[in-house]
Structure 1
Amino acid sequence: MPTADRSSWSRAKKPPIEIGDLNEEESIKYLTEIHKITEKVEELYQLVGGRILELKDVANDFSSGQSIGDIREKILLEAYNKLNSAKILKNQKHHEAGKRVIDALLRSKEINIEEFRKLFENE
């Protein structure tokens, strides 16, 4: 069993590179040039924004014949399942703290681990 000091993360010589979201123009270019999608490109972009992994997923789903509505439903179901798993849906254990975290994320786009812990302090 690997120990923390022998993990691949601890052996990394450089910190990981964070790749930000693509802007709308880059996303459209990615969908049209890489995935060869010529229709409903803007709608696909609107579903997930410029997050490259999500763009890839919706492009693959659309190319396999799924409708925009089906893809949207899949995304919403995945989000629901994640919120349910975290117990932050209404009447669940972490609902109030979850609302605070989501509000903080909507305001600043990111929070550090200490702020996150403070938001769950009384949970």
Structure 2
Amino acid sequence: QAWLESHGRSLGHFVNGAWLRPEDTEGLECREATTGRVVATVPSGDSSDVAVAVAAAVAAAEAWAGLGGPQRGQHLARLASLLSGDPGVALGALLALAGGRPLCRTLGAELELGLRPLRGLEPPEGGWRPLG
């Protein structure tokens, strides 16, 4: 709740590492499943917002394609580490509110189990070495 309050209960689109807030679109209400109370609003976006997101995704895909497996693994392991902290708790809280599920379930069963495969991609002590 505090995280939502700090963002004015109004979220944007997260594109290319930044929050974008389209102004020309209608807001969509995100409601708490158990009470129907509005938890936050998000902009619906339009075709220009989609174009910005697609362009960012294409650029990111090109950069990603240039990375080797170990470098990709490091990025994914870092993502898992970041989502294990406060951002993960905020995400778990949003999932709990929107889905009407207990927070312990969204943090444990859903978020934790989803992050577990990413943690296995951390390079071993001393880094990755070729097998042959």
The structure whose RCO (Cα within 8 Å, separation 6+) is larger is 2
Looking at secondary structure, tell me which structure has more strand per residue.
2
Q: TM-score, normalised to structure 1's length?
A: 0.33
Q: TM-score, normalised to structure 2's length?
A: 0.32
